Amino acid sequence: MNSQTPINLMLVEDERIVAFDLKNQLQSFGYRVGAMVGSGEQALACIAKVAPDLVLMDIHLEGAMDGVMAATEIQQRHQIPVIYLTAFAEDDTLQRALASRPFGYLVKPWDVRELHASIQMALARREIELAVENSELRLKLALDAASLAVFEWLPQSNRLHGDGHLSALFGDTRMPLDESWEAFIARVHDDDRARVTEALGQARCCGETVHIEFRTLRTNGGPHVLEANVRAYSGPCSEGRVVGILQDVTQRRQSEDSLRRSSVVFHTAAEAIVIASAERQVVAVNAAFTRITGYSEAEALGFDTDLLLGVQRGGHDSAAFFATLAAGPDSYWQGEVLCQRRSGERFPAWQSLSVVRDPLNQVSNFVIAFSDVSEIHVVEERLNHLAHHDPLTGLPNRLLFDDRLGQAIELARRQKHSCLLLFLDLDSFKVVNDTLGHSVGDELLRVIAGRLRDTLRGTDTVARLGGDEFVILASGASEKYAAELARKILNTVRLPVSLSCQKITVSASIGIAVYPANGNNQHLLMRAADIAMYSAKSAGRNRYCFYSQEMAAHTNERLLLEQGLRYAIEEKQLSVLYQPQVKLASGQIFGVEALLRWQHPELGMVPPDRFIPIAEESGVIDSLGRWVLERACRDIAGLRNATGEQLRLAVNVSAREFRREDFIHTLSETLAQTGFPAEALEIEITESTLQVIERSIEILGALKRLGIAVSIDDFGTGYSSLSILRDLPIDRIKIDRSFITHLPEKKDGVAIVKAMVALAGSLHMAIIAEGIESPEQAAILRQLGCDGGQGYLFSRPVAHPALTLLLADAPDLH
């Protein structure tokens, strides 16, 4: 206690005379009596105000609260030492007094010097307790400040005690820690338990401080990493203990891992990274910086980055740029700059700048990252070229041509000039592609593209739209020049091309449109040239045509037919008629040919020679062919000829249908669904289709295996190799009506038919003539040995009901 300040005492005594006598005695020893009260309630009421250093307490007091009860409250609330002064020393009174942890117990009468000694000893004890409490408080505050926990392991009792930041480390652990070793080790990660046990055992044996790190289980938001420093201390009777400090180093380890990863990223990044000071002087660079710029770290240190690399940043002054960046709210910039390598070579770079600030928000560093984008620029140029040029021929593609055409039209509009557009399509290119392969076809396109490029003026443009289609733009030229150019192109394209060890010759069809006469915008002009090109093809190919309004009308009609065909089946505009086929010798009907008819709602009855070619070009022929086959098989199934046999059915099939992979499957499926016998079905193909069949002989073989007959329709109008007729399984030849029309007047016609009949006989094929309209034609065909015929002489094509009546009324047609 402070010797200069009188010790302040409180007397709690209900006998006033005794209290005043005791006060006088205490004052004689230099004590200060701050208060004298007669009950426990009064003591509690004024003790906070008096703040005594010690309380002298009688046990038996007036009021409900005796001295022991008052002393207990004083200890709990104010931690002020109490000495009991009482005339009673019974065991029960003594036990109650001991429970209040008094600092002395004097039994009346006492000697004043004994009281003085007791007071001094009590105050000395309290001073030591306060020192210990302050020391413990300082330790606790230190543990809190460092986020540490202290623990003690007693191996003999196998208990572990601890205090400090254990709740932060173990989540649900109560504080202070007091649990068995097994409970504690169960909180440690499974993989680290053996290591922790071994470390504590090592600490017991060696007596040195042992350092260990371990992980906890997933508690308190996730696993934690703890760092422990432990040491063993010996005790009495060989009872030792292990004391240690625990610290949660999870955040520190995460930060260290992050720093390590950042260091790896910094040194291994493909981008060049520069760390510069606030004055823009190089502090550190990574390996990519040296690889990209040629400067080593030693050469770069201390230099201004922009001066070292000669950075050009869109005309911005370097110092002003960095000052603006540092003052801005974002503290980040990226963009393309131009840099210079150590060798002096300039290169484009994509640069990112970040401002690093210290805790006072002052600029401490700049982090500069950049990559060489030279290759990206090269790739962009290549991509731009690919985006605007045909990869096969190197010519401008549709995108670039549309742009040039638009510019040419705009220039012609301003200068009131004309410009020409030529649309070119190669004739029979598909045959070359299918026969010799796509690689040969591609090489042919490259040769033709080169020829077109060499034929044109430097101001003209030729582009490939796709496939075998090319367009040519001639600005400010006349129609006379267009015609001369078209003839020149046709002659150039016709020149033989040596490909695949053979010479190939192709021709072209060219359509020509003139701005502004044939169209005042790109779309109309392209459409006009396209229409003119199709007209050139229709006129015989290997020629050019200028656009006209008549062509447009024809094209519109063709479009109307094509679109109408796509809905003709659904809207029930199609019908199938049947023309009887008879034996010329007896007039007996042995079969019918299915003929498709189309009743258009606007155009009326459209003849097959108008819509069938359109159906083949547009691909609608596939659905039409399937529909006709199924309808005809259902209609004719069960109809009998005069001898009671199933009436034969002939159905025309286009070359496109033969090329379908599912043709045989579709045919078999239709026969199964309709119940029509395969041996009564005959597939008619045109003579030109033989070129396709020659490469698809397996299709004919499959037809023969099904029992289906095959006949060549319009025989004599195309080109047929005798080897094809000999080698392919053809059952019947149909003589085209063009050879029958002028019989018997034309003698050469008779000779041709006679040769056809002889050819069919030598090849063991049946033969039938179509288009017979007079008895004379039928008679001469019988004389020449023709087996059968069909035509208006016998019957026009009729609907199914009329055919049924015809078979019933006149099974033999003479």
Token pair belonging to 397: 């593609």
Distance CA 145, CA 143 (A): 5
pLDDT of residue 721: 58
Least confident of 75-89, 134-148, 400-414, 636-650: 134-148
Distance CA 711, CA 650 (A): 9
* pLDDT one-digit tens code per residue, 412-436: 899 888 899 999 999 888 878 877 8
DSSP states of 221-234: TB--EEEEEEEEE-
Distance CA 656, CA 612 (A): 12
pLDDT of residue 792: 92
Partners of 518 in beta bridges:
none
Question: Mapping DSSP to helix (H, G, I), strand (E, B) and coil, where does residue 744 land?
Answer: coil
Question: Mapping DSSP to helix (H, G, I), strand (E, B) and coil, where does residue 366 land?
Answer: strand
Give all strands of the β-sheet with 32-37 in edge-to-edge order.
32-37, 8-12, 54-57, 82-86, 104-107
CB 24 within 8 A of CB 48: no
- Is pLDDT at 772 greater than 60 in this prediction? yes
* pLDDT one-digit tens code per residue, 195-243: 888 888 888 788 788 888 888 876 666 778 888 888 888 766 556 788 8
- In terms of Cβ atoms closer than 10 Å to its own Cβ (0-12, 13-18, 19+), residue 607 is exposed
Contacts of 238 (CB under 8 A, 6+ apart): none
Token pair belonging to 627: 């529909």
CB 737 within 8 A of CB 719: no
Distance CA 703, CA 653 (A): 13
Confidence of residue 690 (pLDDT cuts 50, 70, 90): low
Confidence of residue 365 (pLDDT cuts 50, 70, 90): very high
Partners of 355 in beta bridges:
366
CB 704 within 8 A of CB 729: yes
Distance CA 268, CA 287 (A): 7
Q: What percent of the chain has pLDDT over 90?
A: 33
CB 510 within 8 A of CB 423: yes
- Is pLDDT at 693 greater than 60 in this prediction? no
Least confident of 120-124, 464-468, 782-786: 120-124
Phi, psi of 105 (to 5 degrees): -150, 105
* pLDDT one-digit tens code per residue, 125-142: 888 888 887 877 777 776
Mean pLDDT of 542-571: 81
Distance CA 472, CA 464 (A): 9
Partners of 709 in beta bridges:
682
* Ramachandran bin of 511, using left for φ above 0, alpha for ψ from -120 to 50, beta for the remaining angles: beta
Say which DSSP state 676 is in. Answer: -
Least confident of 154-158, 649-653, 740-744: 154-158
Distance CA 90, CA 97 (A): 11
pLDDT of residue 105: 86
Question: Mapping DSSP to helix (H, G, I), strand (E, B) and coil, where does residue 660 land?
Answer: coil
Distance CA 159, CA 591 (A): 110
Q: 147-172 in b/e burial notation, b at 16+ Cβ within 10 A?
A: ebbbbbbeeeeebbbbbbbbebbbbe
Confidence of residue 616 (pLDDT cuts 50, 70, 90): confident
Question: Peptide bond preceding 155: is omega within 30 degrees of 0, i.e. cis?
Answer: no
681 closest CA partner among 691, 668, 693: 668
pLDDT of residue 545: 93
61 closest CA partner among 82, 32, 34: 82
SS3 labels along 302-355: CCEHHHHHCCECCCCCHHHHHHHHHHCCCCEEEEEEEEECCCCCEEEEEEEEEE
- Is pLDDT at 446 greater than 90 in this prediction? yes
Rank 218-232, 259-273, 770-784 by mean pLDDT and report only the highest.
770-784
Say which DSSP state 776 is in. Answer: H
Distance CA 551, CA 808 (A): 49
* pLDDT one-digit tens code per residue, 380-407: 888 888 888 899 999 999 999 999 999 9
Q: Any idea which residue has 């005069």 for tokens?
A: 642
Confidence of residue 811 (pLDDT cuts 50, 70, 90): low
Question: Peptide bond preceding 496: is omega within 30 degrees of 0, i.e. cis?
Answer: no
Q: Any idea which residue has 């020449």 for tokens?
A: 784
Q: Where are the alpha helices (DSSP H) in 79-165?
A: 91-99, 112-146
Sign of the torsion angle spanned by Cα atoms 95, 99, 100, 106 = positive
Distance CA 751, CA 737 (A): 15
Distance CA 487, CA 632 (A): 49
Least confident of 252-256, 439-443, 538-542: 252-256
Output the CA angle 258-263-266, nearest 5 degrees.
120
Distance CA 789, CA 721 (A): 24
Distance CA 389, CA 466 (A): 11
Q: Alpha-carbon Rg of the chain, whole angstroms?
A: 57
Say which DSSP state 64 is in. Answer: S
Distance CA 626, CA 260 (A): 72
Angle (deg, nearest 10), helices 398-415 and 374-388: 70
Q: Any idea which residue has 């006379």 for tokens?
A: 480
